[in-house]
Amino acid sequence: MIRSHVLICAGSGCTSSKSLYVKEALEKELVRHHLEDEIKVVQTGCFGLCALGPIMIIYPEGTFYSMVTVEDVPEIVEEHLLKGRVVTRLTYKDPAKEEESGPTSLSDTLFFKKQKRVALRNCGVINPENIDEYIAMDGYTALGKVLTEMTPEQVIQVIKDSGLRGRGGGGFPTGMKWQFAANNQADQKYVVCNADEGDPGAFMDRSILEGDPHSVLEAMAIAGYAIGANEGYIYVRAEYPIAIQRLQIAIDQARKYNLLGKNIFNSGFDFDIYLRFGAGAFVCGEETALLTSIEGHRGEPRPRPPFPAVKGLFGKPTIINNVETYANIPEIINKGAEWFQAMGTEKSKGTKVFALGGKIRHTGLVEIPMGTTLREIVYEIGGGIPGGKKFKAAQTGGPSGGCIPASLIDTPVDYDTLTAIGSMMGSGGLIVMDEDNCMVDIAKFFLRFTVDESCGKCVPCRIGTRRMLEILDRITEGKGEEGDIEKLEEMGYSIKATALCGLGQTAPNPVLSTIRYFRDEYEAHIKEKRCPAHVCKALAQYSINPELCKGCSLCAKKCPVGAISGELKKTYVIDVSKCIKCGVCMEVCKFGAVEKK
Amino acid sequence: MKTLAELAAIREKMKDKVALREEGSAATRIVVGMATCGIAAGARPVLNTFVEEVSKAGLLDKVMVTQTGCIGICQYEPVVEVYTPSGKVTYVKVTPEKAKRIVEEHIKGGKVITEYTIGNK
């Protein structure tokens, strides 16, 4: 009789921290102690606390162990599983509580308390490779309900009433999109899932695909019924091998149970899903480029109108939704539109999954009701900034988004409030920056990414963003000129207005938003040739502190360009005009006399 | 599968298997002492019986069965503490047979079996 379940995260993050070796070691150890009939080991999807992986949770107590290694396993088995004594040195400690407040249960941690897991409801709870466990959590009940009790119009109405908006970044009302596709008559229609999560630092969709793939399959079948489509495609990026594997297993299992295929639940409705893989192009996450790619062409966007709901894949009416949007659908059908409406703000209902990254303690995945403030996300759920550093800004929306400065940290996060302050929700990537980040450098990082990923079809993006990047490069190399900021602004706004697709239309956002809130940093780079955060190497000024210099001459010997001069036992001096800012002098000085400003 | 009834059957069968992972405050907890003294006195069969009986009663998601270390009254092992909204009861010298009665009368029926409690020794 199984009396305890040990859940081990097998998402990409923990797997790369060797969680599968931990699982193997655990299974061996259980056999050694003759516990294999009492303890069940379950591999699950992402719990969200990726910075502290491998994660292990023991039920029924809900004890939360973090950073578990293979060496820890014998102790956990003997102490906790056999004798019931929690191994406190391995339990997760809430950084907010200084003293060891005893073994923390999962739901007591500040990290989880403020979260509301809807899209991530099964991640970290079930084994994603077992369809029966998905069914135990009411999986496929929504599909059953839809096919036996509801008409397609009723399904669309529920989704419309719920207020669900696209979670891929656009925030377009999902019910309305389905309605458009349902209205168009055609001999064939398609349901597509955009799983080409391309934003750097975003892994919300990956975790859902790895941890709860059936929720997406079920939702796509429901969508197919609603709009009148029998075929679905999931376009998943090839860089997600575990997600691809889990999806294929899930599709096979669903087909075996006839939850996909012909005449599902004897309703006369057929639906099947096929996988298509991306090949590394960020632009293929843009809906029309994605469809073009499935059709077998180079991923390039198309002008709209006509929108995919009218003329999409292979010219037929198509709905294309994001993974997280789909993950919400079964719950909305099962629990009703009102239940969903009760969460979130007036115009942004429900929850949003965020991937927290950058200068934050709890790097990982969180799901919170819309309307939660940035302060709560950073300091309460995120655990604050490590090293006691000051919060400077948070970037949302990846390369398409903007930054939220510290002065606006009490902004409630939802689609419209973020757009109003010059950022956007985006797909959910949230990068936290502290006083040691240079905002000009950050803008350059994101713009370099979009320039690289531009498909080249339209002039504003192909040429315009590149010219903007050239200006940013000059500025960060100390060659900024008067008028550069104005040029960036002018070009930015023109590109936003004229580019063919979302990539180009949003590429200038990081630049425009950092100029809006951190203009002084740009001016320091240009007018004073100074980087306030000491990041831009070319603007760094190296100097020797005369009080600490012992005159050993090591730096002068190592300097590749002979920029340091002096006499033995006397203070050495760096000639700033010759210095190439390589930093070798600082590395070799044994007295810490070289300073960087 | 072709019918909703078949789906429901799988769900019912599996619900117990994942019920152990129900996160949340279990209003009722059965804590079995599993320190060395407890194990030596035979606490493991007692623990397993509790899990079986609670599962048979369909209460695995509302009643948490777990272990703990040395409670301190080693001569009375196996010791089982039952926490309910009405308070805590300590049962001593528990056997698998007594465990079955405890689940039936105390957990399901709400009546403490005073002859098994520590106060009665």
Which of residues A289, A309, A341 is at a domain's end? A341
pLDDT digits (tens, 9 = 90+) for A41-74: 999 988 888 888 899 999 888 888 999 999 999 9
- In a shared domain, residues A169 and A52: no
CB contacts of A106 in chain B (<8 Å) are: 23
A353: pLDDT confidence band, cut at 50, 70 and 90? very high
Q: Is the pLDDT of residue A228 over 50?
A: yes
Judged by a CB distance cut-off of 8 A, whether residue B64 touches chain A is yes
DSSP, res A167: T
Judged by a CB distance cut-off of 8 A, whether residue B14 touches chain A is yes
Q: Is the pLDDT of residue A128 over 50?
A: yes
- In a shared domain, residues A415 and A521: no
Higher pLDDT, B19 or A563: A563
pLDDT digits (tens, 9 = 90+) for A558-595: 999 999 999 988 899 998 888 888 889 999 999 989 98
Q: Which of A253-262, B45-54, B110-119 is least confident?
A: B110-119
DSSP per residue over A81-139, as a string? IIT----GGGB---TT--S--SSPBGGGSHHHHT---STTTTTTTS-TT-HHHHHHTTT
Judged by a CB distance cut-off of 8 A, whether residue B32 touches chain A is yes
Does A3 sit within 8 Å of B48, measured CB to CB?
yes
Count residue pairs from A and B with Cβ separation < 8 A: 93
Judged by a CB distance cut-off of 8 A, whether residue A576 touches chain B is no
pLDDT digits (tens, 9 = 90+) for A155-168: 999 999 999 999 99
What span, in angstroms and rounded, lies between the C-alpha atoms of A350 and A175? 14
- Among candidates B4, B15, B68 on the partner chain, residue whose Cβ is nearest the Cβ of A136: B15
CA dihedral A302, A308, A310, A313 (to 10 degrees): 90
The domain that contains A183 carries what CATH number? 3.40.50.11540
Residue whose tokens read 């391309």: A198
Mean local confidence (pLDDT), A245-258: 96
* pLDDT the model gives residue A106: 65
Helix (H, G, I), strand (E, B) or coil at A59: strand
Q: How many CA atoms lie within 13 A of A405 on its CB side?
A: 13
- In a shared domain, residues A147 and A200: yes
What span, in angstroms and rounded, lies between the C-alpha atoms of A497 and A505? 7
The domain that contains A88 carries what CATH number? 3.40.30.10
- In a shared domain, residues A444 and A365: no
What span, in angstroms and rounded, lies between the C-alpha atoms of A162 and A167? 14
Residue among A202, A217, A205, A118 nearest A162 (CA): A118
- In a shared domain, residues A488 and A550: no
pLDDT digits (tens, 9 = 90+) for A171-208: 999 999 999 999 999 999 999 999 999 998 899 999 99
What span, in angstroms and rounded, lies between the C-alpha atoms of A530 and A520? 11
Residue of A nearest to B54 (CA): A3
Q: How many CA atoms lie within 13 A of A115 on its CB side?
A: 25
Q: Is residue A589 situated within a structural domain?
A: yes
- Sign of the Cα pseudo-torsion (A133, A139, A177, A370, in order): negative
Does A3 sit within 8 Å of B1, measured CB to CB?
no
| Cα A110 to the center of its chain, rounded Å | 20
CB contacts of A265 in chain B (<8 Å) are: 1-4, 7
Judged by a CB distance cut-off of 8 A, whether residue A497 touches chain B is no
What residues contact residue A13 under an 8 Å CB cut-off, 6+ apart? A46, A50, A53, A203, A364
Higher pLDDT, A53 or A96: A53
Q: CA dist A307 to A31, A36, A319, A481, Å?
A: 58, 56, 9, 43
- A202 phi/psi in degrees, rounded to 5: -100, 130
Strand-strand pairing, A402-405 and B63-68:
unpaired
* pLDDT the model gives residue A218: 98
Judged by a CB distance cut-off of 8 A, whether residue B80 touches chain A is no
Q: Is residue A444 situated within a structural domain?
A: yes
- In a shared domain, residues A443 and A420: no
Higher pLDDT, B62 or A302: A302
Q: Is residue A47 situated within a structural domain?
A: yes
Residue of B nearest to A108 (CA): B24
Q: Is residue A549 situated within a structural domain?
A: yes
- In a shared domain, residues A337 and A421: no
pLDDT digits (tens, 9 = 90+) for A268-327: 999 999 999 999 999 999 999 999 999 999 999 999 899 999 999 999 999 999 999 999
Q: CA dist A37 to A2, A76, A278, Å?
A: 6, 17, 43
- In a shared domain, residues A55 and A78: yes
In chain A, how many domains are there?
5
Residue of A nearest to B38 (CA): A83
Test mutation, B6, B13, B21, B60, chain A, max A CBs within 10 A: B21
Q: Is residue A113 situated within a structural domain?
A: no
Which positions 88-147 of A are in contact with B (Cβ < 8 Å)? Answer: 105-107, 125-126, 132-133, 135-138, 140-141, 144
- Among candidates A2, A3, A135 on the partner chain, residue whose Cβ is nearest the Cβ of B10: A135
Rg (CA), chain A: 27
CB contacts of B3 in chain A (<8 Å) are: 265-266
Q: Is residue A112 situated within a structural domain?
A: no
What span, in angstroms and rounded, lies between the C-alpha atoms of A120 and A500? 34
Q: At what angle do helices A509-527 and A439-453 cross, to 10 degrees?
A: 130
pLDDT digits (tens, 9 = 90+) for A268-280: 999 999 999 999 9
CB contacts of A4 in chain B (<8 Å) are: 20
- Among candidates B4, B13, B69 on the partner chain, residue whose Cβ is nearest the Cβ of A84: B69
Higher pLDDT, B73 or A263: A263
Residue of A nearest to B1 (CA): A257
The domain that contains A517 carries what CATH number? 1.20.1440.230
Does B7 sit within 8 Å of A85, measured CB to CB?
no
Q: Is the pLDDT of residue B24 over 60?
A: no
- In a shared domain, residues A193 and A334: yes
Which of residues A341, A362, A387 is at a domain's end? A341
Q: What is the ipTM of this complex?
A: 0.75
Quick one: what percent of chain A has pLDDT higher than 70?
97
What residues contact residue A382 under an 8 Å CB cut-off, 6+ apart? A356, A360, A361, A362, A366, A432
What residues contact residue A594 under an 8 Å CB cut-off, 6+ apart? A542, A543, A544, A545, A555, A574, A585, A586
Judged by a CB distance cut-off of 8 A, whether residue A35 touches chain B is no
Q: Is the pLDDT of residue A95 over 80?
A: no
- In a shared domain, residues A175 and A146: yes
* pLDDT the model gives residue A560: 93
Residue whose tokens read 């000129």: A481
Judged by a CB distance cut-off of 8 A, whether residue B45 touches chain A is no
Q: Is the pLDDT of residue A103 over 60?
A: no
What's the pTM?
A: 0.84
The two most distant CA atoms of chain A are separated, in Å, by: 93
Does B66 sit within 8 Å of A60, measured CB to CB?
yes
- Among candidates B11, B17, B20 on the partner chain, residue whose Cβ is nearest the Cβ of A60: B20
- In a shared domain, residues A589 and A472: no
- Domain residues for the domain of A488 are 439-527
Helix (H, G, I), strand (E, B) or coil at A294: helix
- In a shared domain, residues A426 and A443: no
Q: Is residue A535 situated within a structural domain?
A: no
Does A144 sit within 8 Å of B4, measured CB to CB?
yes
Mean local confidence (pLDDT), A548-553: 90
Which of residues A434, A463, A486 is at a domain's end? A434
* pLDDT the model gives residue B38: 85
Give the tokens for residue A508.
Answer: 């200038």
A448: pLDDT confidence band, cut at 50, 70 and 90? very high
**Domains by residue range for chain B, with CATH:** 4-120 (3.40.30.10)
CB contacts of B10 in chain A (<8 Å) are: 132, 135-136
Q: Is the pLDDT of residue A217 over 60?
A: yes
Q: Is residue A81 situated within a structural domain?
A: yes
What span, in angstroms and rounded, lies between the C-alpha atoms of A259 and B56? 30
